[in-house]
């Protein structure tokens, strides 16, 4: 007795909607990345320590004192494949009375000496975001250590300044461009038959398409992880 399986073919309408969603995703990535870069409602960094602020506010200014990285978050897929690292530091107000966390790159701490003073001019720019739970927990431990060593200053514990946000916006733009180019390449391969497989251009196009898909996959994973 044979069992017949019904195969559902993809209709032209379904394919059109799928392609439309993919193209829309690419355009959204580019638009949101560009908007994140050009939006420039920045305030002085000193206001973080002296005035109230809201999540999403943009601050820019020089940093005179900063701690070494008190937390490094190592992101991996299934605890095996590395995706990226996050580094969190404390920066202090000019009078050393208040501190706030920032997320910066690995080399940020190299601009400060052993007593946290800057050895060169350091300018940061970033938006206010809410601290992840892991950073909040570690920050409480750091605060207790400071208290035991006689270091008393107020630490803003709920929020941090994200100084790598502009790089993430740029990666969004790259992701959007890659998505649109991938759609264009697939369209040329499937519909227009622009490549001659006898002379190898078709195979090259397939390889480029596979590499592009891998780049898109890596960027999506990275941007979903390093938010």
Dihedral of CA 19/21/23/26: which sign? negative
Whether pLDDT at 197 is above 60: no
Mean pLDDT of 83-109: 92
Whether pLDDT at 180 is above 80: yes
20/38 Cα distance (integer angstroms): 27
Whether pLDDT at 125 is above 90: yes
Q: Are 222 and 83 in contact (CB under 8 A)?
A: yes
Q: Which long-range contacts (CB under 8 A, 24 or more apart) does 180-188 make?
A: 180/23, 180/26, 180/27, 180/30, 181/212, 182/209, 182/212, 182/213, 182/216, 183/19, 183/22, 183/23, 183/26, 185/209, 185/212
Mean pLDDT of 60-79: 89
Whether pLDDT at 4 is above 50: no
Mean pLDDT of 153-159: 88
196 confidence band (pLDDT: 50, 70, 90): low
- Tokens for 7? 């195969």
154/227 Cα distance (integer angstroms): 27
Whether pLDDT at 128 is above 70: yes
Judged by average pLDDT, the poorest of 22-31, 140-149, 165-174 is 140-149
pLDDT, position 67: 92
pLDDT, position 83: 81
- By percentage, how much of the chain surpasses pLDDT 70? 91
94/111 Cα distance (integer angstroms): 16
Q: What average pLDDT does the chain have? A: 86
70/176 Cα distance (integer angstroms): 34
pLDDT, position 192: 56
């Amino acid at each position: 007795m044979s069992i017949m399986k019904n195969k559902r073919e993809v209709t032209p309408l379904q394919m059109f909607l799928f392609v439309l969603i993919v193209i829309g995703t690419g355009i959204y990535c580019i638009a949101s990345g560009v908007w994140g870069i050009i939006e420039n409602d920045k305030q002085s960094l000193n206001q973080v320590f002296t005035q109230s602020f809201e999540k999403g506010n943009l601050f820019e200014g020089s940093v005179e004192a900063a701690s070494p990285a008190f937390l490094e978050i190592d992101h991996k897929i299934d605890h095996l494949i590395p995706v990226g690292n996050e580094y969190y530091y404390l920066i202090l107000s000019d009078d050393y009375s208040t501190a706030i966390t920032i997320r910066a790159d690995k080399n940020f701490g190299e601009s400060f000496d052993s007593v946290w003073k800057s050895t060169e001019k350091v300018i940061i720019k970033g938006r206010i975001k809410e601290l992840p739970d892991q950073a909040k927990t570690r920050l409480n431990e750091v605060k207790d250590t400071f208290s035991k060593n006689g270091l008393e200053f107020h630490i803003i514990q709920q929020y941090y300044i994200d100084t790598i946000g502009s790089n993430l916006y740029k990666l969004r733009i790259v992701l959007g461009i890659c998505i649109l180019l991938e759609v264009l390449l697939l369209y040329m391969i499937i519909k227009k038959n622009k490549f001659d497989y006898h002379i190898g251009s078709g195979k090259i196009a397939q390889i480029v398409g596979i590499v592009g898909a891998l780049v898109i996959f890596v960027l999506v994973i990275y941007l979903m992880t390093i938010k």
